[in-house]
Amino acid sequence: MKQFMIKNALVLTGGAMQGLGMGLFLFPNSIPSGGAGGIAILLNYWFGISDGLALWIVNFSMLLLGVNYFGKRFVLWTIVGITMTSVSIEFFEQSVSVPDRNLMVDLILGSVFLGTGIGMLMRQEVSNGGVGVVALIIASGREILPGKPLFYINCLVFLITAMIIDWKIILLAFASQWISTKLVDYVCNLTFHQAYTLGWRKKP
């Protein structure tokens, strides 16, 4: 029970920090946080769906693809994480305002919170959802690391988002990805509680 409570607290905290970075800093500037974030921005742009709900829809849809590969426990914990992220995005977008926004400050702060949140989730073997699940499926099937397919999928989404909304988005998205992935590596190397090992494994 203690292990469960600690894992639950870390997953919720990681999801909240990810939502803080996206909802308060990145999404108000239409900066995609990744492939799922880019699709969420497009859904908001086309249909007026709120960013938090759009991200949850994208994440949940992608996650359904992963249940046969990684098992129900992986999916349940990831649902907890992505739901917390979406709730946090809704809260920060609707309840917190940032006066005199600065694009570069928002980019850096948003990417730092995003990377820290994702790192906390990954230390608990919980996906941050979205196209990361697709990348893990591809990596599992081809027995490669997930970084390369994730990079290519994100790049494709960034390109489409930039073509539809604004070309400067792709530069901001790449900068955000660089900062946030550095933070993911840093958090994953810290010494603090993790309930399971870091190795992604296909379910038996």
Q: What value does the mean pLDDT take over residues 177-184? A: 83
Tell me if 125 sits within 8 A of 203, measured CB to CB.
no
Q: What is the pLDDT of residues 5-21, one digit of tens each?
A: 988 999 999 999 999 99
d(CA 186, CA 167): 30
Q: What is the pLDDT of residues 121-177, one digit of tens each?
A: 878 877 777 776 777 677 767 776 566 677 788 788 888 888 888 787 788 888 888
pLDDT reading at 200 higher than 80: no
**Entry pTM:** 0.77
pLDDT of residue 20: 96
d(CA 88, CA 53): 11
pLDDT of residue 199: 46
Q: What is the pLDDT of residues 58-103, one digit of tens each?
A: 888 887 777 777 778 888 888 899 889 989 999 998 899 888 899 9
| Domain extents in the chain | 2-189
Query: CA nearest 147: which of 156, 136, 157?
Result: 136
